[in-house]
Amino acid sequence: MARKPRINEPGFYHIVNRGVNNSKIFIEKEDYHKFMELMLKVKYDYDITFHAFTILPTHYHILVETHKSNLSEAMRLLNSAYAAWYNFKSGRVGHLWKGRFDSYMLFDEDHFWKVVKYIERNALALELVDDITKWDYQSLALRLKKNKFFEIINGSKILEKPLNEYIDWLNKPLEKFELDEIYKEPKIVLVDGEYKVIRKKLSEFFDEYNDKKEAIKAAKANGYKYSEIARFLGVSNAYISKLAKS
């Protein structure tokens, strides 16, 4: 299967990377601290805002905001520098990560907060802790402890929420329909040799237009395929095509 195109434009992204063969790559406290040191370097060297993150034994989740077209360069430094340090420290050779990092551009504010909650709840969901406040290697822990790594989340939108309210909110699990949206992202289409990001969800066209035919036409004009619209509506491609052209 072909790789999806990598979008590098400024914006909000959910970043995920895992150890090769899903192996543990964060074992000792020193490992987690080194990764956070590198996050600080990336923050300032590449003008990145870290809004939320969690570092887990086999992988990490990060919600970043880029202000320049440099996401790939920033994450490449973070991953390669940690891999080089970890391999040297442990005397291992070979690839540390499963491959290139996965990035998912976010749609909007609502999507942002769903991903924040998903990230902050990850250690709890994986039963690494029985209390969301007990995992030391995530953005919530930095708010609680205000240690030397607190700088990582300077400028984060999560700081806008009062801490107690934030914890109460995090303690409420995501609904299934919310979980289903975590890894969805804006559609990316190739237009005149350049990639274009369609930030409007398919559902929004049908909320905006009372007439289904007009909604279909608008979605098609914005880059969605009839097959995608048909799948969204639960009907056949032929029905969509016939309706749009009638």
- Catalogue the long-range contacts made by 222-227 (C-beta closer than 8 Å, 24 or more residues apart): 222/198, 223/187, 223/189, 223/191, 223/196, 223/198, 224/187, 224/198
Determine phi and psi for 59, rounding to 5 degrees: -165, 180
Query: Using an 8 Å Cβ cutoff, are 8 and 197 in contact?
Result: no
Alpha-carbon dihedral 130, 98, 35, 61, rounded to 10 degrees: -50
Closest CA to 113 of 43, 165, 36: 165
Along the 246 residues of the chain, how does pLDDT read in single tens digits?
456 667 788 999 999 999 999 999 999 999 999 999 999 999 999 999 999 999 999 999 999 999 999 999 999 999 999 999 999 999 998 999 998 899 999 999 999 999 999 999 999 999 999 999 999 999 999 999 999 999 999 999 999 999 999 999 999 999 999 999 999 888 777 777 777 777 778 888 888 888 888 888 888 877 788 888 888 888 888 888 888 777
> The whole model's pTM is what?
0.86
Q: Which two tokens stand for residue 20?
A: 């090769």
Cβ–Cβ under 8 Å, residues 7 and 84: no
Domain boundaries, the chain: 11-179, 200-245
Which CATH architecture does the domain made up of 11-179 adopt? 2-Layer Sandwich (3.30)
